[in-house]
Amino acid sequence: MSSFKKVLVTGGAGYVGSVLVPRLLAQGYAVKVLDLFIYGEKVFDEVKSNPKLELVKGDIRDQELVKQSVQGCDAVIHLACISNDPSVELNPDLSRTINFEAFGPLVALSKAAGVKRFVFASSGSVYGVSDDPDVTEEHPLVPVSLYNKYKAMCEPVLLKEQSPGFTTVIVRPATICGYSPRQRLDLTVNILTNHAVNTDKITVFGGSQMRPNLHMQDMVDLYLLLLDVPDAVIAGQIFNAAYQNFSVSETAEVVKSVVQKEVSGKEKLQIVTTPSDDIRSYHISSAKIRKVLGFVPKRTIEDGAKDLIAAFRNGKLPDSMSDMHYFNIKMMKSIDLK
């Protein structure tokens, strides 16, 4: 394990965070979670009795709370944000305050509190639309939505604070797939699997758009690795993190094949294609992270779909076509966060 003892995970009760936090605890870290807990605290039912877990309910925009939260922490993994394009567009002002304006103070307060390492979850979608066969970290950022734009705007804010004793690193993840206690069913592989298991057809919006994918457990493996490597290896660095770059149509074919093998009665499963105004399309290169960190994902889209099928089978995802807890935009509309 690394020399760090205590990690603050902002947005730790979210889709990735609720898988990451138990893994951090299992590795022996003390973990503090700062989150609004919009989706509830049930995500931590299996670890809430762990004395090394501290849950702080609050807003990342509350600088006094942030100041208290970073105290005593060696590392910060910043996941908190209004996530996905529709949720951001729902209330652009709210999204700007949370996804961008709160970021600089969080970084400054972390540095002032003696945090030694700051890991920022940016997004592979900051590249927007690119015909480049392999988009590297040096590729121009051409965000096509406010969500991507705010992620891109945060990156230089963090990098300029890089200094001895305050190691900063940025990850640009692909679209995550797979099961989580705080399940999202509004991400490509997860949407397709949900529809394939629970209806007779998979609806593909567009289809030709290239999208990189990464399994949830690989994403978590990477965050653990970023706490473990020496400062000099990652200081001030940006890393793409992806595995399979498929078109949405190709992804649908993979999901269809998995579901037909795993779920009885799905022999007639159809793929229906409809137009989409989502033009994001890019093919991410993960050569740098493989070379510098030796990070090679171990899991596939098929594994992500199988995880979800198992969760459906075990009753972990009830009302998956209608419960708003699985869909960020529905939840954001219902709570009317200010």
Task: Report the pLDDT averaged over residues 318-335.
Answer: 95
Nearest to 301 by CA among 185, 216, 204: 216
* Model pLDDT for residues 183-193, shown as the tens digit of each residue: 999 999 999 99
Residue at token pair 């963090």: 158
Coil vs helix vs strand at 92: helix
Chain segment 14-41, per-residue pLDDT in tens: 999 999 999 999 999 999 999 999 999 9
Mean pLDDT of 232-261: 97
Cα-to-chain-centroid distance, residue 69: 22
Band (pLDDT 50/70/90 cuts) for residue 289 is very high
In whole angstroms, what is the distance from residue 159 CA to residue 336 CA? Answer: 33
Burial tier of 230 (Cβ tally within 10 Å: 0-12, 13-18, 19+): exposed
- Stretch (H or E) spanning 290: helix 287-293
DSSP state of 326: G
The residue type of 307 is D
Three-state SS for 170? strand
pTM: 0.97
For 6-335, CATH number out of 3.40.50.720, 3.40.50.10540, 3.40.190.10, 3.90.870.10 equals 3.40.50.720
